[in-house]
Amino acid sequence: MHSLYANVWNETLKMTFKKKTWFFMAITLIIPIGAGILLANFQSNIGISAVSSSDFPMTMLGLFTVLFLPLFVFMGAADQFSGELGDRTLKIVLTRPISRFKVFASKQLSLGIYIAAYLLLAMIGSVVSAVFLRGGLSEFAILDVLIAYGAAFLPLAVLSIIAVFLAQFFTSSSGAITVSILLYIAVKGSSFFFPQVSTYSPTAYLNWHTLWLGNTMGNGQVWSVFMFLLACSILFFTVGFYLFDKKEH
């Protein structure tokens, strides 16, 4: 287990040393704060409260889970796999005393750590911004925010597993990012024309956190979506690892 733990730490540090990670982290913090300030000014000027302070963190989470965080996830997955394959730096870790399975799993786990960090920053930014809006946040609203941001982790983690699977087909991060984004847009877009697509697409459940909110939380629906996402993650993780394992360097 030492090698797994050590490489999770290494992979996480590697991402930390990249400037773009800090840029994305800053964006994740700045967007909700900036949006909060702008919205507060706008609403005080027109005298109508379109977005309340308790709704604001959820509105921002909706925006993050559909738009920004998938982009960051695609970039992270592409950098860790196809990017390293292209730079020929993947062999640095492959020639250390660690199995390929542990290399694959540790890279995936470090992506999970980054998703959690992005969500935490987005939550902090949103909660801080809510202060600028009228009303502030009640204790219950804060609890809802914690639950929603926590629940949003799972579909994003599944998305990262799918992104890692896609990255196995490319030897440059730019190719992997482009195709991941295009596929994401295509799947999201196709659900408008063919609603049945969304039933079988993991990307349709990025707003899974909404099921956890309020008194009308449907346990059955939460459970069935959870099982579907779990099945997707097992499937894509297994095939992703198979492709990673048979690669020659």
Nearer to another protein, 6 or 142 (CB): 6
Nearer to another protein, 22 or 169 (CB): 22
- The minimum distance between CB 242 and another protein, in angstroms, equals 14
- The minimum distance between CB 225 and another protein, in angstroms, equals 38
Nearer to another protein, 19 or 215 (CB): 19
- The minimum distance between CB 30 and another protein, in angstroms, equals 23
Q: Point out which residues bind another protein (CB under 8 A).
A: 2-3, 6-7, 9-10, 13-14, 17-19, 87-89, 91-100, 246, 248-249
Instruction: Quickly tell me which residue has 């992703």 as its tokens.
Output: 240
Nearer to another protein, 2 or 214 (CB): 2
The 3-class secondary structure across the chain, one letter per residue, is: CHHHHHHHHHHHHHHHCCHHHHHHHHHHHHHHHHHHHHHHHHHHHHCCCCCCCCCHHHHHHHHHHHHHHHHHHHHHHHHHHHHHHHHCCHHHHHCCCCCHHHHHHHHHHHHHHHHHHHHHHHHHHHHHHHCCCCCCCCHHHHHHHHHHHHHCHHHHHHHHHHHHHHHCCCCCHHHHHHHHHHHHHHHHHHHHHCHHHHHCCHHHHCCHHHHHCCCCCCHHHHHHHHHHHHHHHHHHHHHHHHHHHCCCC
Nearer to another protein, 77 or 137 (CB): 77
- The minimum distance between CB 179 and another protein, in angstroms, equals 24
Nearer to another protein, 14 or 209 (CB): 14
- The minimum distance between CB 176 and another protein, in angstroms, equals 19
- The minimum distance between CB 102 and another protein, in angstroms, equals 8
